[in-house]
């Protein structure tokens, strides 16, 4: 059992959820209106609720909930990292499907041949696949841009 915290954001924080996934944290997005059912789900799945809805803290809830103060995405990410003493590790980066929040599986280079463009196939050495949406991930521009964003915003990767 991992002691890494898991999160559940409300639908307005989908971007933050994506970044937590990039950092390797299991983060679900609640697709409907934030409310009692969202809190129940968080409790059932042992997730920390992240929300900007002030009325959420007025509800009776014995689980963990954090009301975000920051509006800016990078600042929100910092806020969560500090609040929960997260130490994002290099090996865990880019290990989760940004769409499905599922852990990616490495796939053989040969198998990736028909699934990515010839250019990508030629230039990348390792590929990962989402077990749900079958999306293929590789070390490319998107990952480099993400790393730049983290660097620029002084988010430390261990
Ligand atoms: Zn997926």
| CA–centroid distance, residue 17 to ligand 1 (Å) | 14
Number of domains present in the structure of the chain:
2
Tens digit of pLDDT per residue, the chain (158 long)? 457 999 999 999 999 999 999 999 999 999 999 999 999 999 999 999 999 999 998 888 999 999 999 999 999 999 999 999 999 999 999 999 999 999 999 999 999 999 999 999 999 989 999 999 999 999 988 899 999 999 999 999 99
Same domain? For 118 and 74 the reply is no
| CA–centroid distance, residue 128 to ligand 1 (Å) | 11
Q: Which domain holds residue 22?
A: 7-92
Same domain? For 87 and 38 the reply is yes
| CA–centroid distance, residue 102 to ligand 1 (Å) | 6
For residue 115, being part of any structural domain is answered with: yes
| CA–centroid distance, residue 93 to ligand 1 (Å) | 16
Same domain? For 73 and 29 the reply is yes
What span, in angstroms and rounded, lies between the C-alpha atoms of 63 and 88? 23
Same domain? For 48 and 113 the reply is no
For residue 98, being part of any structural domain is answered with: no
| CA–centroid distance, residue 134 to ligand 1 (Å) | 6
Same domain? For 24 and 82 the reply is yes
Same domain? For 78 and 111 the reply is no
| CA–centroid distance, residue 58 to ligand 1 (Å) | 34
């Amino acid at each position: 059992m991992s002691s890494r915290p898991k999160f559940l954001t409300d639908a307005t924080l989908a971007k933050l959820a994506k970044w937590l996934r990039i950092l390797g944290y299991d983060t679900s997005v609640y697709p409907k209106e934030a409310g009692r059912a969202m809190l129940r789900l968080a409790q059932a799945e042992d997730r920390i609720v992240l929300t900007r809805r002030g009325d959420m803290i007025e509800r009776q809830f014995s689980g963990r909930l954090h009301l975000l103060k920051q509006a800016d995405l990078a600042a929100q990410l910092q806020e969560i990292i500090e609040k929960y003493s997260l130490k994002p590790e290099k090996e865990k980066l880019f290990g989760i499907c940004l769409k499905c929040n599922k852990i990616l599986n490495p796939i053989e280079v040969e198998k990736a041949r028909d699934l990515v463009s010839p250019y990508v196939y030629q230039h990348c050495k390792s590929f990962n696949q989402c077990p749900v949406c079958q999306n293929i991930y590789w070390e490319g521009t998107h990952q480099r841009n993400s790393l730049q964003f983290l660097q620029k915003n002084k988010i430390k990767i261990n």
